[in-house]
Structure 1
Amino acid sequence: MAPGELRPTLLLLLALLPAGLAWLFASRSAQEFVARHVDFPRSRPPPGQQYCDYLMRQWRSLPGTARRPFIFVHTDPSQLASLCRCGDGSQPPARTCVSRNRIPTTTCRMALGGGLGGSWPLSLKSRIRVACRGGEPVDILGTV
């Protein structure tokens, strides 16, 4: 193969690289979203432990979990993909969305000083505001 024949192939690969990387990172972020925020079915802590303390011990080892308050969603992850779809079915690459329906959530607020052992839960059915990337939820920004 002559060196001139490699250029179109190389250019095509370079053109497709950003799309492939975006898909890869969007998938990873969506998986991290589920690992960080979805507790379905809702966990039951062992006797003597409170819900938020129990979950925060599990999730504390994940990167990006130091924010307060922390929101857990109690619904099937497959139902969360629709959070990032526009009314016309399009999926902008990055945006903020609010759920149309109320979703069972628990908001854990940590005690002053940030230690475990003093957190308290607030369990509600709330509309949630999510950050979307690549048509998938990647973070919960709060409740509405």
Structure 2
Amino acid sequence: MAPRGPRPLLFLTLVLLAACLAQLSEGATYRQFLNRHVDFPKSGGNNRIYCNRIMQRRGLTRPVCKPTNTFIHAPAGQVQAICRGAGRCHGRNFCDSNSSFRLTTCRVAPNSRPGRCVYRARVQHRRIRVACNQRLPVHFERIL
């Protein structure tokens, strides 16, 4: 007669599968952060056309023109370091960088529309605040 009751092996398999899926989704969030906010080395073009090109290339102009987006011109490892000790962490999961980064903030111009998004660039050298998950940046919060 076969044993009845809980199936420990099946339960363990389901728990491990759930953990793997959670890690994959967190990795996707980090990859989304990189796509939306890291551009190193800085893509070519002068500041007048930079935002128009990169916002379109990164898929930030559909289905609507994203109103504002900041790009960090530093290697991914330097941005990761904010979440790994090179930043001061506070609150739930926010960390402020200890050092400044080269940044370009793209703001949509009036009368822009999907398919014809026009942006203005603002270049700065400032500290930043990011949200971290498992020691990786997953959200750009603001410029400090």
Give the SS at the match of 1:105: strand
- Give the TM-score, by structure 2 length: 0.77
Structure 1 residue ranges without an equivalent (≥5): none
- Once the two structures are TM-superposed, the CA of residue 36 in structure 1 deviates from its matched residue by 1.7
Query: Following the alignment from structure 1 to structure 2, what is the Cα–Cα distance between the partners of residues 72 and 19?
Result: 31
Letter in 1 for 2:104: T
Q: Alignment identity in percent?
A: 32
- Once the two structures are TM-superposed, the CA of residue 119 in structure 1 deviates from its matched residue by 2.3
Which deviates the most, 21-30 or 5-14? 5-14
Q: Quick check: 1:16 aligned with 2:16? A: yes
2:93 equivalent among 60, 79, 95: 95
Q: Closer, same or farther in 2 for the Cα pair 1:44/1:15, shift >3 Å?
A: same
- Give the TM-score, by structure 1 length: 0.77
* CA offsets 1:85-113 (integer angstroms, 9 cap, x no match): 358xxx9xx72222121111101111123
Instruction: Show the 5 A alignment for 1:53-72.
Output: 53-60=52-59, 66-72=65-71
Structure 2 residue ranges without an equivalent (≥5): none
* CA offsets 1:115-141 (integer angstroms, 9 cap, x no match): 457522111111111122232111212
Instruction: Give the 4+ runs in structure 1 shifted more than 4 A.
Output: 2-6, 61-66, 115-118
Give the SS at the match of 1:132: strand
Which structure's residues are more often strand, by fraction?
Answer: 2
2:119 equivalent in structure 1: 119
- Does the Cα contact within 8 Å between 1:71 and 1:105 map onto a contact in 2? yes
1:105 equivalent among 99, 103, 117: 103
Query: Following the alignment from structure 2 to structure 1, what is the Cα–Cα distance between the partners of residues 128 and 84?
Result: 14
Q: Closer, same or farther in 2 for the Cα pair 1:62/1:131, shift >3 Å?
A: farther
1:38 equivalent in structure 2: 38
